[in-house]
Structure formats: structure tokens, C-alpha cells
Amino acid sequence: MRRRTWGTAVLLAFCAGLAPGTAAHAAPHRPGPLPLQRLFDNRAVSDDRSPGDADFDGAGGSLSAQDLTAAGWTPGTGLGVERARLTWPRSAGAGPDNVRANGQRVRVTGRGDALAFLVAGTGGDARGAGVVRYADGSRSAYTLTAPDWRTGPLATKSVALPHRNTPDGQLLEKTRLYVVTVPVRTGHRIASVELPRATGGAALHVFALSVRAATTGWTGTWAASPAGYTAVGPWADRTVRLVVHTSVGGPRVRIRLDNTFASTPVRIGSASVAVQEAGAVARGKPVPLTFRGARGTRLPAGAQVFSDPVGFRVPADANLLVSLHLPEPVTAAPVHSQAIQTSYVSGPGDHAAEAAGSAYTSTLSYWPLLTGVDVGGGPGSVVLLGDSITDGVKSTRDANRRWPNVLASRLLAQSRVPRYGVLNEGISANRVVADRYPGDGISTDTGGVSALHRLDRDVFAQTSARTVVVFQGVNDVRWGASAGQVVAGLREIAERAHARGLKVIGATITPCAGESLCTAAVDAQRVAVNSYVRGAGSGFDGVLDFDAVLRDPARPERMRVEFDSGDHLHPGDAGLMALADSVDLGLLAP
């Protein structure tokens, strides 16, 4: 090797604009931020005919391009997940399609409330710390965990695929991909993101990255959580007309559709919104909805879509009809099972634009696909994270007497605090720390994934969420969880919500003695959880003592007779009203 002389070094330093004698001590050059695809250094996707062409995990394993296509994840597809928009790499199946995170600087710009990463770990769950740099020169740290592509929880996956490709052929083994969000400084313009440096030996793979825009100019007026993935219909060339009840009103509207838990896409041929007159009959001609300018849309497995904003005066405290034409066969769908509301299904054809209800010849008792309705303007929303009591089980059908409905009416009738939208994210049979529905596959169980597993989707990603009320735990203790386990879960919910800038209100668990599972031992665990919720160290910003509202003073383990629906677990209409009437509305303001 030819030795470089001092004179050569001076000449190089001069050409580089450095003073003589400093070239040998110059800091190494670090490239500026690059678009993520310029950093791709790993190939995760292979064609089933050439399964050895990719090596995602260092052992020759890869994702199936055909499986991804069947799920609607084709190269270049835009994916809406948890209010973020990500793009599945155009190079997937043809070349490098992800980057193994190791501190690379990515060019990402925009303002928002979170970063959204499409990720997976190999060699185990991958975790690392990264940095967000802002245009004003400040920075913030974040920690990202990418669950393993073979063993991570199905309850939080964005999509699960049925196969794993290997150089020796294809194996019938599920693989999965995840969307994970991390909070950023709201209002600060992001200039770049430094990817995490994974620790512990696992590799953290990033396929896509975007800034999730903060919700401005919208308030959530109605919401329902996907509680499971069940057989439906089957529907082919049918229109479903779903009845939902607003909390607040506004001059514009948009809807949100989710294909959560799914393995195949769903096509929406057309959609509309109207005020309900009676049954399936609309008050006036329904207003058509569009999706990125088109009259219909296609939802890939695990994805969501918002309709375009449309001028439409949404009344407060009223029933809307949201109609969806399904032109292709739908045999299974994500559902919210306990609608406590009658909806409708038509005979053959697209009847979304019709005001008449004559085409709607059968009824539904659940809400498929539709998870949210937003209105223009407003002060934001309060999210109620709960179980069957929040869901309204045992309230009068089609009467909107769930305690969240009564709370929304109270907010509308006063001026002391803003008239927030009220979003009911209750799921019957739901638990804090354990999944009822496993998060994948067709199942008759619609108890949902745990509150911990659905927190990002059902709270943080909700439109203009300001405050969350956490009213859960009775199903955990009824089915054998200890007070310590429930408390740990509630503590984690409060910590994660505070990290997102939300106010967190805890509610005590109501009494249920007399119900078959509510034994004296269960009641002791319930009382212990309630002691934590009421305590100064709970981490909650306020407490709703629903236990004190409903309990019988003479027998505090039981519900008062006048509030009991008859099953000793669920309050009836009077008990639900008592819960809503007991809420100090001032606690809801951030």
C-alpha cells in the first residue's frame, strides 16, 4: 500500500477547506438523513416459487408474497392503521424491503402526535431506543419494541399470514407484522428520526415509518371497538344499514371503517349517511360518502380507512343510518357484538342511496366494520374504556340508555365544561389483563383482546381524545385474576395514557354478589382493587366511585335492588343512569 506523505495530507486538507494539520483529526463523515427505502438492507418477502430468494431472519426464513397479496398487502399499497398512514414497500418480493434498525437517520417530516412504525423482530422481540429530531433543534427520545415475527402476540398484530417460507419450501406456520406507535412532541415539526439500536441479540426490522398527524378540526361523536372476528351473512351484493347514536353534532361528517383481526380484504362498493326517521327509513335522501375521491374503497386485512369529509349537519343525541354496500362475498368480519341496537341488511343490490327502507329485509344485532363517526369542529372527546356495563348490556334495546349515552346528554345540557364527544369503547366480557378473543381467526368469542392489548387502538388512536375513563376489572377477578394482577394492569394503562398526554380517570368496580361467579373470595379481590383505585398512589388523575353509587348500604357486596337488572352483575336502566348522574363533569376536562 502506498504511504501518504504529509504534503499529500496538506493538499487534501486544503481541498476540503480545512487548515493544514487538522485533516488527521477531522471527525468521520456521518451521512444526513435519507428516505427509509434508501436504507433498506434486508429482504423479508419471497415468492412461493423461489422461497430461498429472501432471508429475513438470518436463517433463510421469509414472508410469502402470495400470502401478502391475499391479505391485500400488495407492493405500494397504502395502509391506514391506528389513524396513521403507512405504505407497504414497493420493493416487497423483488428486492430489499426493510432496514435492520441500528441508529440510521431517516428523513421524516411533519407534525403529529405519534410516530407509526411498521415493524417485526427476528430472533425474539426486539427493543431499542431512538431519537426524534425537530426542526427547532430540539430532540426527544423514544423506545420501540418490535414483537417477533413468529412468536409475537396475535392480539396486537396488524396482519398474520398463514405460512413461513424457507429455502427448503413453505411451512404452515403463522408469521406476523406489527404497527407500533410512539409519542412525539405535539406541535413540533419533525425533521428526522434516528432508528433504534436494538439490544439483546434480536434484530428490529422497519418496513415503513410515518408521522401520525394530530387530529384537528374533528371530534369523535360515536365509536365502537372491534370485539372479535365472526362468521357473518354471508353477504354478497348486499347493503348493511347500521344504526348508531351520536353524542355531539357538527356541520361535517366522516366515518371510520376497520378490518381489524381479518386475514382477507373487504371491498366497500359505496357508502352513505343519513339521519334515521324510523327503522331503516332515512329522513331525507342519504348523503353519499367517498374515499380518497372514489365512491368505494378496499380495506386490506388489518387496515382502516376514513371517508372523505362531507358537508352534512349531524344532530346531537340522534340516530344516524350508515349504509355500506358490499359487492363481493363477505363471510366473516370484525364485529362489535353487543350493539343493543337493531340494524338492517338489504336484499340484493346497492341500496345505500335510498331513503326508503323497503329493500332492507332482515336485521342485525351487531355492528360490523364500522368503528367510528366524527363530526367537524368541537372540543374533542372523552373515551370510556370498559366492559359490558359500559357496553350497555341489560339496558333497554334501541333506547340508548347506556351510561355513556346518559353522560353525553348531561354534557350537552350544561355549559360548565366543554361539550365533549363521548366514545363508548366498552366490550362485553372484556378484561384488563387477559384476552378473551385471541386476536386472530374466526371465533364465536367476542370478548375482545385485553384492555392492555387494545389500548393503542381503542384509546390513543381515537379522534381528538382528551380524557380516558377506565372502568374495568370485574371480569378479571370473576375469572380468577388476583387483585395484584388487575392493579398492575391499571397502573400500566395510566402510565401509557399519561405518556400520550391524556388525562386518566379511574372508576371503582361495582358489586356483583349473587351472580354465580361473584363469590366471597372474588369480592375480596374486588375490594382490594377498589382500595388501589381510590388511593393517592394509583396514578389516576381522578376517581369515579361507581362502587359507592350502586352498592347496597346494608350489604355492600351486593347491588341495590332498584339498580339491579336482575342478574346481580349488570345494572338496569336506573342503575346506568345513576352511574352517569354521579360523574363530576369537571373531572373530564383536561
Q: Is the dihedral of CA 178, 53, 162, 72 positive or negative?
A: positive
> Using 50, 70 and 90 to split pLDDT, how confident is the model at 30?
low
Q: Identify the H or E element spanning 524.
A: helix 520-534
> Quick one: pLDDT at residue 43?
98
- Model confidence at 10: pLDDT above 50: no
- Model confidence at 22: pLDDT above 90: no
Residue 13: phi and psi, rounded to 5, are: -65, -40
High-pLDDT (> 70) share of the chain, %: 95
Q: CA 570 to CA 566: how far, in whole Å?
A: 8
CATH pick for 379-590 out of 3.40.50.150, 1.10.10.10, 3.40.50.300, 3.40.50.1110: 3.40.50.1110
Cis peptide before 556 (omega within 30 of 0): no
Say which amino acid occupies 561.
V
- Model confidence at 197: pLDDT above 70: yes
- The residue-averaged pLDDT of 78-101 equals 97
High-pLDDT (> 90) share of the chain, %: 94
> CB neighbours (10 Å) of residue 96?
17
> Using 50, 70 and 90 to split pLDDT, how confident is the model at 19?
very low
- Model confidence at 8: pLDDT above 70: no
> Quick one: pLDDT at residue 16?
37
pTM score: 0.93
> Quick one: pLDDT at residue 97?
98
- The residue-averaged pLDDT of 428-446 equals 97
Q: CA 417 to CA 187: how far, in whole Å?
A: 24
Q: Is the dihedral of CA 436, 437, 438, 439 positive or negative?
A: negative
Helix (H, G, I), strand (E, B) or coil at 228: strand
Beta strands in 433-502 (DSSP E): 465-471
> Quick one: pLDDT at residue 32?
83
Helix (H, G, I), strand (E, B) or coil at 199: strand
Helix (H, G, I), strand (E, B) or coil at 38: helix
**Domain positions in the chain:** 36-212, 229-372, 379-590
Whether residue 577 contacts residue 566, with contact meaning beta carbons closer than 8 Å, is answered with no
- The residue-averaged pLDDT of 38-64 equals 97
- List residues bridging with 360 in a β-sheet: 346
- The residue-averaged pLDDT of 469-494 equals 98
Whether residue 462 contacts residue 497, with contact meaning beta carbons closer than 8 Å, is answered with no
Q: CA 129 to CA 131: how far, in whole Å?
A: 7
- The residue-averaged pLDDT of 280-303 equals 98
- The residue-averaged pLDDT of 418-445 equals 98
Q: CA 398 to CA 415: how far, in whole Å?
A: 28
- Model confidence at 5: pLDDT above 50: no
Helix (H, G, I), strand (E, B) or coil at 481: coil
Whether residue 466 contacts residue 590, with contact meaning beta carbons closer than 8 Å, is answered with yes
> CB neighbours (10 Å) of residue 297?
21
Rg (CA), the chain: 26
Q: What angle do CA 186, 221, 401 make, to 5 degrees?
A: 135
> Using 50, 70 and 90 to split pLDDT, how confident is the model at 29?
low
Q: List the end-to-end C-alpha distance of the chain, in Å, as a whole number.
A: 68
Q: CA 573 to CA 397: how far, in whole Å?
A: 10
Mean pLDDT estimate for the chain: 94
> Quick one: pLDDT at residue 9?
35
> Quick one: pLDDT at residue 590?
87
Check residue 238 and report its DSSP letter: E
- The residue-averaged pLDDT of 458-467 equals 97
Q: Which of 463, 261, 479, 469 is nearest to 375 (CA)?
A: 463
Q: What is the pLDDT of residues 237-261, one digit of tens each?
A: 999 999 999 999 999 999 999 999 9
Q: What is the pLDDT of residues 301-310, one digit of tens each?
A: 999 999 999 9
> CB neighbours (10 Å) of residue 413?
9
- The residue-averaged pLDDT of 562-578 equals 98
